[in-house]
Amino acid sequence: MMLTRKTEGRAERANPLARAMSALSAKTVDRRTFLKGSGLTAGAAAFASQLPLGFVGEATAATAAGTGKMERKRTVCTHCSVGCAVDAYVQDGVWVRQEPVFDSPLNLGAHCAKGASVREHGMTEHSHRLKTPMKLVDGKYRKISWEQAINEIGDKLLALRKESGPDSVFWIGSSKFSNEQAYMYRKFVSMFGTNNMDHQARICHSTTVAGVANTWGYGAMTNSYNDLQNSKAIFFIGSNAAEAHPVSMLHALHAKETGAKMIVVDPRYTRTASKADQFIRMRSGGDIPMLFGMLYHIFKNGWEDQKYINDRVFGMEKVREDIMKKWTPDKVFEACGVPEAEVYKAAETMAKNRPSTVVWCMGQTQHSIGNAMVRASCILQLALGNVGRSGGGTNIYRGHDNVQGATDVGPNPDSLPGYYGLVAGSWKHWCRVWGVEYDWMKSRFVSQAMMEKPGMTLSRWIDGVTEKNELIDQDSNLRAIVYWGHAPNSQTRGLDMKVAMEKVDLMLIVDPYPSASAVMPDRKDGVYLLPAATQFETSGSCTASNRSIQWREKVVEPLFESKPDHTIMYAFAKKFGFEKEFVKNIKLVKDKQGWDEPVIEDITREFNRGLWTIGMTGQSPERLKAHMRNMDAFDAKTLRCTKSVVDKETGYDMNGDFFGLPWPCYGNAQLKHPGSPNLYDNSKHVMDGGGNFRANFGIAREGVSLLAEDGSHSMGADITTGYPEFDHVLLKKLGWWSELTEEEAKEAEGKNWKTDLSGGIQRVVMKNHGCHPFGNAKARAVVWNFPDPIPQHREPIYSNRPDLVAKYPTHEDKKAFWRLPTLYKTAQQKAITDKVHEKYPIVLTSGRLVEYEGGGEETRSNPWLAELQQDNFVEINPKDAEARGIKYWDYVWVSSPTGARIKVRALVTQRVGEGVSWIPFHFAGWWQGKDLLEKYPDGAAPIVRGESVNTATTYGYDSVTMMQETKTTLCQIERA
């Protein structure tokens, strides 16, 4: 057995190693050397260039025996939401070693390919980083100074603002920002005067956040990766955790080892599936038939938790009637292709092995009915009484390292930080926190109406540029696009995007790498690239998927001419003339080049003063840093510190805290709320991280109470039945008002638990009375404010089954939906009329590879990762391949109904079923067969370039959130 993969007679994943191996020798590419960037001596450089052949380690040899002091910096991997801690060792300002952090309760030292390679950080002159500001001049990127960049870009944006209004600019922010930067970006764009901003969450879990929050209160993973260890059954649907969240599998496989049953439902036999007890191959987009098919058996056999439903769930009876009528086993099989026996088995496993948990990811969210699919998952868990239980819950794995945090506090077009929304009261709350006048804030916008109208979404900005002006719900079309820490190749409809990119007056890209935005459009000018520092070159907090917040120390100074995002924001704020308002409560320090940098800890403290809704008020920088220094104090199963452990630096005792103070961590830091490891868990006291479902939807509906039944409450609560959320009136009625201090009472007068900046209401309610500030209500199985209150299956816009489209058609078209007209029925019917399914008979779905992340620019520029995946490919079933004369690793053309054609390798494999294909979405840098290498700034092209699947993807958006439909569309494949 060689250390290669065998290819004979079986499918395998693309692996260039085999080829490299068979040749016995492979071309050695430019190795990273720290020398030029690190100030090591010229002598050492000369030595490195004369290395004898066959030796490893080249240049850093100099650092192995280096003279400088070795410093340890603790940071967190930036590649997914698991939150793996990393110890970076730094010498002479160079990151020279990376060590595992065994103490971390989240990852216990473990890393996937990405985490184990984060040290490769583009430190040398030969790296692929964007090193200086650049401007596109006559079709070629030229280096410019920061000063020139800020001035030219600022002047252009100010001119556009004056000419076409602030809504003419669309600001894409980033889930790669720290919480502090994401929060400042929301503030920054608000002060520019628009809600036209968004970030990765739109195309990641927006449907989850909306669906889940509307079901029971908060749009977040209810439990944690660690809590999987308490599960007796784990049900993955639309999640390939083994590739997308590899370290989460440490907990899942541990659970499996101790007896948990594992079920994987997916159109592909994924690596996660290979670890499952039961794999169910489902038709892409068949989530609701599958989940409701399971519920059919659960209800039929009386496996539901009747007491739980009675006490804590609203509307289950109606859902039950709908399911028993519509989702009989034959209908389930017809719509999602899963036979009754398999559905029954999965239902039985989940019902008889409680607590059981459901895990979902993009496979469930990225559909035109994603909001309904995620609610079907919630309903399954509510019926089984699994939510608010350790080992149960809906474990929704977020994507980026801080996509949860950016969703919580960052650039969302429909809400201010903390899900406060955009109504006048919300603006007033935040203006108070920011220390600015509400009227001044309002004056920044075109009008109060525009100030309160949600902006366009990331998934649709292209239509904001190209749609007819009379059809859009704002004055001007978009005239400038800002990609600040976001790849364009993760969004659908590449052909249309190119047109939009060419049409705008200005493109601004702020990123550590040029990203595909730099090369997609055929433009001669009007594009600027600004080098941003990575999260290893600054400090700040980030929220893992389980809501634990971790603090990153700065590992190295920003490389080359890059600047941290918040520093760049401040520079633009100055140019725009609102820098004083921007940092009213935040000190500035000078960085090494004399730039003003807002102090990160001050930003944390500012949002601590305002984020009462989600309890991001108790996580002071001091508490978070103490946790990072004492990770070994926390249990890897419960995440709790159960004894007195005192942080040496601050004297803070972590006794009782849950690691990273997972939000909600209510009250101010002095209240010492321990954080909430599992949401809605009424087996615990609220001051112990317990809770119940949120009263956020009124107290009654059609004469039925929405509050929890008698006897259903968090442990030790003074009110032993359901109750509404707390405000000054309720507090007075209950006679608790006098328990506020004089100062608290002054601030709390006229306020509620969300707007009382003193935290007094939260303190009295929780600490003195064991009640939950957001009330105690029922979860909603029926979400009456959504297009389908009871989740309904609807076929995707591009379906391969006209017969099913006839039975399960999509929604009616929408006007002025997130400021844009949006097609449903028209688009779906046109596809049927045009017989698209005959010309493009293969279902196309997309997903992740373990080696790359997101748009992939950063990871494809990392040679340790790039070497492992050198070509983009399409997974195609052997039968489909044979019918088309396609052999393993042939080049093929994948064409889509948009007319796009992309050239990728064919990975012939049984991973995908007949009639289904799958392409990873991390690639970019090719355009319909052509390598765009020459269009990148010199030396800044990623090592591996390839065709982006989203060049070919089609129209289709979720009916609540504008999530793009990437997981189910159609294509044709032919030999190239």
Partner 1 sequence: MARMKFICDAERCIECNGCVTACKNEHEVPWGVNRRRVVTMNDGVPGERSISVACMHCSDAPCMAVCPVDCFYKTDEGVVLHDKDLCIGCGYCFYACPFGAPQFPQAGAFGLRGKMDKCTYCSGGPEENNSAEEFRKYGRNRLAEGKLPACAEMCSTKALLAGDAEVITKIYKTRVVTRGKGEEIWGWSMAYGGSGKLADQPGGRA
Partner 2 sequence: MNARKLTTMAAAVAAAAALAGCTELSQESARSYMGKEDAKAYAGDQFKGDKQKWEQSLATRAASQNEYLRTQAAK
Q: Which does 636 bind (CB under 5 to 8 A by kind): partner 1, partner 2, none?
A: partner 2
| Cα-based angle 956, 208, 322 (whole degrees, multiple of 5) | 85
- What is the distance between the alpha carbons of residues 408 and 183, in angstroms, rounded to a whole number? 9
- Residues lying near partner 2 in the complex (CB under 8 A) are found at 1, 6, 102, 105, 108-109, 229, 250, 254, 635-638, 642
Find the binder of partner 1 among 9, 43, 50, 65 (CB under 8 A): 65
Q: Which does 745 bind (CB under 5 to 8 A by kind): partner 2, partner 1, none?
A: none
Residue with tokens 């507090």: 731
Find the binder of partner 1 among 35, 40, 94, 113 (CB under 8 A): 113
The answer to the question of residue 25 lying near partner 1 (CB under 8 A) is: yes
Kindly write down the DSSP assignment for every residue of 7-63, as one continuous string. -TTS-----HHHHHHHTS--PPP----SHHHHT--HHHHHHHHTPPTT---GGGHHH
Q: Which does 112 bind (CB under 5 to 8 A by kind): partner 2, partner 1, none?
A: partner 1
| Contact window for partner 1 (CB under 8 A) among 62-70, 197-205, 754-762, 804-812 | 62-70
Report CA-CA distances (Å) from 161 to 198, 437, 454. Answer: 19, 21, 18
What is the closest distance, in whole angstroms, from the C-beta atom of residue 635 to partner 2 in the complex?
5
Alpha helices in 124-205 (DSSP H): 146-164, 179-192
| Contact window for partner 1 (CB under 8 A) among 59-67, 174-182, 392-400, 522-530 | 59-67
The answer to the question of residue 239 lying near partner 1 (CB under 8 A) is: no
Number of residues that bind partner 1 (CB under 8 A): 76
Find the binder of partner 1 among 49, 148, 258, 301 (CB under 8 A): 258
Report which of 194, 114, 198 is spatially closest to residue 161, judged by C-alpha positions: 194
* Residue with Cβ nearer partner 2 (108 or 892): 108
Residue with tokens 């064919």: 906
The answer to the question of residue 339 lying near partner 1 (CB under 8 A) is: no
What is the closest distance, in whole angstroms, from the C-beta atom of residue 235 to partner 2 in the complex?
23
Report which of 695, 656, 694 is spatially closest to residue 676, judged by C-alpha positions: 656
Report which of 200, 242, 245 is spatially closest to residue 224, judged by C-alpha positions: 245
The answer to the question of residue 49 lying near partner 1 (CB under 8 A) is: no
The answer to the question of residue 569 lying near partner 1 (CB under 8 A) is: no
Report CA torsion sign: 340, 344, 345, 346.
Answer: positive
Is the separation of the CB atoms in 562 and 178 below 8 Å? Answer: no
Residue with tokens 């929408």: 814
What is the closest distance, in whole angstroms, from the C-beta atom of residue 116 to partner 1 in the complex?
4
And the tokens for 363? 């496979």
Residues 120-149 that bind partner 1 (CB under 8 A): 120
Report which of 466, 468, 524, 515 is spatially closest to residue 493, judged by C-alpha positions: 466
Q: Which does 51 bind (CB under 5 to 8 A by kind): partner 1, partner 2, none?
A: partner 1
* Residue with Cβ nearer partner 2 (109 or 337): 109
What is the closest distance, in whole angstroms, from the C-beta atom of residue 150 to partner 1 in the complex?
36
And the tokens for 475? 């004055």
Residue with tokens 């079923």: 913
- What is the distance between the alpha carbons of residues 725 and 107, in angstroms, rounded to a whole number? 36
Q: Which does 291 bind (CB under 5 to 8 A by kind): partner 2, partner 1, none?
A: none
* Residue with Cβ nearer partner 2 (54 or 711): 54
The answer to the question of residue 2 lying near partner 1 (CB under 8 A) is: yes
List phi, psi (to 5°) of 3: -80, 50
| Contact window for partner 1 (CB under 8 A) among 108-116, 124-132, 222-230, 497-505 | 108-116
The answer to the question of residue 637 lying near partner 1 (CB under 8 A) is: no
And the tokens for 614? 């989600």
And the tokens for 242? 């083994």
Per DSSP bridges, beta strands 356-360 and 313-314 are: unpaired
Q: What residues contact residue 328 under an 8 Å CB cut-off, 6+ apart?
A: 296
* Residue with Cβ nearer partner 2 (100 or 329): 100
What is the closest distance, in whole angstroms, from the C-beta atom of residue 231 to partner 2 in the complex?
14
Q: Which does 449 bind (CB under 5 to 8 A by kind): partner 1, partner 2, none?
A: none
Find the binder of partner 1 among 332, 350, 497, 850 (CB under 8 A): 850
The answer to the question of residue 257 lying near partner 1 (CB under 8 A) is: yes
List phi, psi (to 5°) of 613: -55, -45
What is the closest distance, in whole angstroms, from the C-beta atom of residue 943 to partner 1 in the complex?
9
- What is the distance between the alpha carbons of residues 230 and 393, in angstroms, rounded to a whole number? 11
Q: Which does 176 bind (CB under 5 to 8 A by kind): partner 2, partner 1, none?
A: none
The answer to the question of residue 851 lying near partner 1 (CB under 8 A) is: yes
* Residue with Cβ nearer partner 1 (21 or 45): 21
Residues 464-523 that bind partner 1 (CB under 8 A): none
- What is the distance between the alpha carbons of residues 596 and 588, in angstroms, rounded to a whole number? 6
The answer to the question of residue 606 lying near partner 1 (CB under 8 A) is: no
- What is the distance between the alpha carbons of residues 966 and 957, in angstroms, rounded to a whole number? 9
Report which of 966, 970, 926 is spatially closest to residue 361, judged by C-alpha positions: 966
Alpha helices in 467-514 (DSSP H): 494-503
| Contact window for partner 1 (CB under 8 A) among 244-252, 502-510, 620-628, 797-805 | 244-252
Report CA-CA distances (Å) from 577 to 162, 439, 599. Answer: 14, 17, 20
Is the separation of the CB atoms in 153 and 393 below 8 Å? Answer: no
What is the closest distance, in whole angstroms, from the C-beta atom of residue 107 to partner 1 in the complex?
8
The answer to the question of residue 915 lying near partner 1 (CB under 8 A) is: no
What is the closest distance, in whole angstroms, from the C-beta atom of residue 624 to partner 1 in the complex?
25
Find the binder of partner 1 among 45, 61, 446, 745 (CB under 8 A): 61
The answer to the question of residue 119 lying near partner 1 (CB under 8 A) is: yes
The answer to the question of residue 387 lying near partner 1 (CB under 8 A) is: no
Report which of 607, 770, 805 is spatially closest to residue 692, judged by C-alpha positions: 770
* Residue with Cβ nearer partner 1 (62 or 766): 62
What is the closest distance, in whole angstroms, from the C-beta atom of residue 931 to partner 2 in the complex?
35
* Residue with Cβ nearer partner 2 (2 or 341): 2
The answer to the question of residue 58 lying near partner 1 (CB under 8 A) is: yes
Per DSSP bridges, beta strands 356-360 and 233-237 are: parallel
Run of H or E residues at 971: strand 969-975
List phi, psi (to 5°) of 340: -55, -45
If you ran DSSP here, which 8-state letter would residue 477 be given? P
What is the closest distance, in whole angstroms, from the C-beta atom of residue 100 to partner 1 in the complex?
5
Residue with tokens 């380690």: 57
Report CA torsion sign: 84, 89, 92, 95.
Answer: negative
Cβ atoms < 10 Å from Cβ of 302: 8
What is the closest distance, in whole angstroms, from the C-beta atom of residue 51 to partner 1 in the complex?
7
- In the three-class reduction of DSSP (H, G, I as helix; E, B as strand; rest coil), residue 436 is classed as coil
The contact pattern for partner 1, residues 267-306, with x = CB under 8 A and - = no contact, is --x-xx-xx---x---------------------------
Q: Which does 105 bind (CB under 5 to 8 A by kind): partner 2, partner 1, none?
A: partner 2
The answer to the question of residue 256 lying near partner 1 (CB under 8 A) is: yes
Is the separation of the CB atoms in 422 and 414 below 8 Å? Answer: yes
What is the closest distance, in whole angstroms, from the C-beta atom of residue 4 to partner 1 in the complex?
7
Q: Which does 635 bind (CB under 5 to 8 A by kind): partner 1, partner 2, none?
A: partner 2
What is the closest distance, in whole angstroms, from the C-beta atom of residue 636 to partner 2 in the complex?
4
Residues 861-890 that bind partner 1 (CB under 8 A): 863-865, 867-868
Report which of 675, 669, 660, 562 is spatially closest to residue 608, judged by C-alpha positions: 669
The answer to the question of residue 46 lying near partner 1 (CB under 8 A) is: no
The answer to the question of residue 42 lying near partner 1 (CB under 8 A) is: no
What is the closest distance, in whole angstroms, from the C-beta atom of residue 297 to partner 2 in the complex?
34
